[in-house]
């Protein structure tokens, strides 16, 4: 198995090449742009035998891919941030038509204020649009989760599209060693695309997405929900086969040092490696700390989360999305629901918005707060961390960042 130096966008392109799509339509947007550009190069160079369709927007890109997939080929697009927001209408159509498209999303904050940098607000805004969601923690994950996502989405018991999410710049533009499977081995794993359920056939014409009566709409949504339920079990089967074929382990959640932990953090994406590093440092000091990385966010792996976190007294959930107006942000909401009825103390932490670094120091302070809560010396529900000392007056020159989390 060859090893290549790739950034996250490069790994995304390799993954697309390996699954042999029939149609590609993508509109460039920072930090996704190099995916669209390099896919065009691959098609022009004959390394991907696909039709590359130039479009004027992300809405058009998703519309082209929806139509292409209905004809019976794998269709590929990729996007980020406001581009994903522009796709929103067609994302719902794609999932409602049960088309198992798999899309790379390079996470970037939504506007306004305008930002080019990473947080999870773009994909969290689409978490209820009917797509499976997987969050990569490394560049290797970007490739592996795409290949596994093809198998999961196209399974006849699932037939649900997937987003493979990677943190903008932290992964998309960071070079790492990546094991790239051989073409034949990969295609033996993903297989030829087979059109199922809803597709266009001139010999048997149908209406697609026509006006649906009230008597049918609820039942069709229920069928989608069953697909999500099935996806959890199918993912475990696909991940097991992936490990047998390629020797790398994929999981819906990645527990770390949780067996005897008294305090733990829950993370998603590239911050997860930093969390594990800080856990190692705390363990060396005798602190029983642990971490849990959520890989599959939709469907949310509530059972797995409950199994590994159920006995941990104090848990901090770190969201890279604000969840404005909610009791707590999206990931914390899901973790709290998964642990409903248990005796855990669950606390929410919000930070890393618009690419602000979530550093070793950030996690050290989060763990310090969790330990203080464990000792009964401090209590709080939701905290924003690493904000300036005067966040309500950012146009006034301020000194150093606040040394305490903002309540």
Please write the tens of the pLDDT for every residue from 318-373.
Answer: 999 999 999 999 999 999 999 999 989 999 999 999 999 999 999 999 999 999 99
* DSSP-based three-state secondary structure for 225: helix
State residue 396's pLDDT score.
63
The alpha carbons of the chain give a radius of gyration, in whole angstroms, of 21
List residues bridging with 179 in a β-sheet.
Answer: 3
User: Given the DSSP bridges, would you call strands 314-319 and 263-267 parallel, antiparallel or unpaired?
Assistant: parallel
Tell me what the mean pLDDT of segment 94-108 comes to. 97
Burial status of residue 179 (CB atoms within 10 A of its CB: 0-12, 13-18, 19 or more): middle
For residue 407, pLDDT over 50 is answered with no
**Strands 382-384 vs 289-294: parallel, antiparallel or unpaired:** unpaired
pLDDT above 90 as % of the chain? 89
Structure pTM? 0.96
Q: Which CATH class is domain 3-246?
A: alpha beta
Mean pLDDT of 170-197: 96
CB 269 within 8 A of CB 358: no
C-alpha torsion sign, points 29, 88, 108, 396: positive
Q: What is the side-by-side strand order in the sheet with 345-350?
A: 253-256, 289-294, 263-267, 314-319, 345-350, 382-384
What pLDDT was estimated at residue 206?
A: 86
How high is the pLDDT of residue 47? 97
pLDDT interval class at 397 (50, 70, 90):
low
Sorted by where each begins, the domain ranges of the chain are 3-246, 253-384
Q: In the predicted model, is pLDDT for residue 405 greater than 60?
A: no
Instruction: Provide the pLDDT for residue 304.
Output: 98
Per-residue pLDDT tens for 224-255? Answer: 999 999 999 999 999 999 999 999 999 999 99
Handedness of CA 96, 97, 99, 101 (dihedral sign): negative
Contact by Cβ (8 Å): 321, 268: no
Please give the DSSP secondary-structure letter assigned to residue 109.
P
Q: Return the CATH number of the domain spanning residue range 253-384.
A: 3.40.50.920
Arithmetic mean of pLDDT over the chain: 95
Mean pLDDT value of segment 261-275: 98
End-to-end C-alpha distance for the chain, whole angstroms: 49
* Location of structure tokens 């590359």: 52
Among 361, 367, 195, smallest CA distance to 290 is for: 367
* Intrachain domains 3-246 and 253-384 with the same fold: yes
Question: For residues 174 and 239, what is the distance between their CA atoms, to the nearest angstrom?
Answer: 25
Check residue 197 and give its pLDDT: 87
- What is the widest separation between alpha-carbon atoms in the chain? 72
Distance CA 277, CA 283 (A): 10
């Amino acid at each position: 198995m060859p090893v290549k130096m790739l950034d996250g966008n490069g790994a995304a392109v390799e993954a697309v090449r390996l699954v042999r799509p029939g149609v590609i339509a993508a509109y460039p947007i920072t930090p996704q742009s190099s995916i669209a550009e390099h896919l065009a190069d691959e098609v022009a160079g004959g390394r991907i035998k696909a039709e590359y369709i130039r479009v004027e927007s992300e809405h058009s890109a998703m519309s082209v891919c929806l139509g292409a997939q209905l004809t019976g080929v794998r269709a590929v697009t990729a996007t980020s941030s406001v581009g994903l927001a522009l796709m929103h209408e067609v994302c719902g159509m794609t999932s409602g038509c049960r088309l198992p498209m798999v899309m790379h999303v390079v996470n970037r904050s939504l506007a306004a204020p305008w930002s080019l940098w990473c947080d999870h607000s773009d994909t969290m805004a689409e978490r209820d649009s009917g797509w499976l969601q997987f969050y990569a923690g490394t560049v290797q994950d970007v490739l592996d989760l795409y290949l596994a996502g093809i198998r999961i989405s196209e399974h006849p018991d699932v037939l649900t599209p997937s987003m493979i999410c990677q943190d903008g710049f932290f992964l998309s533009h960071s070079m790492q060693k990546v094991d790239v499977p051989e073409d034949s081995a990969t295609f033996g794993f993903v297989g030829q695309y087979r059109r199922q359920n809803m597709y266009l056939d001139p010999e048997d014409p149908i209406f697609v997405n026509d006006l649906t009566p009230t008597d049918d709409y609820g039942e069709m949504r229920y069928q989608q929900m069953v697909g999500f339920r099935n996806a959890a079990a199918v993912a475990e089967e696909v991940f097991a086969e992936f490990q047998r074929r390629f020797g790398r382990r994929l999981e819906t959640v990645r527990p770390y040092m949780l067996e005897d932990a008294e305090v733990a953090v829950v993370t998603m994406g590239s911050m997860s490696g930093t969390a594990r590093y800080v856990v190692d440092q705390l363990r060396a000091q005798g602190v029983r700390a642990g971490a849990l990385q959520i890989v599959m966010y939709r469907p949310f792996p509530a059972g797995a989360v409950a199994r590994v976190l159920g006995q941990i007294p104090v848990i901090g959930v770190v969201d890279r999305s604000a969840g404005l107006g909610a009791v707590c942000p999206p990931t914390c909401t899901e973790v709290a629901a998964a642990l409903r009825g248990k005796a855990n103390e669950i606390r929410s932490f919000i930070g890393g918005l618009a690419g602000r670094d979530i550093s070793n120091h950030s996690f050290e302070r989060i763990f310090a707060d969790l330990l203080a809560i464990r000792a009964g010396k401090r209590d709080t529900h939701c905290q924003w961390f690493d904000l300036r000392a005067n966040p309500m007056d950012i146009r006034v020159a301020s000194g150093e960042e606040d040394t305490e989390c903002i309540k």
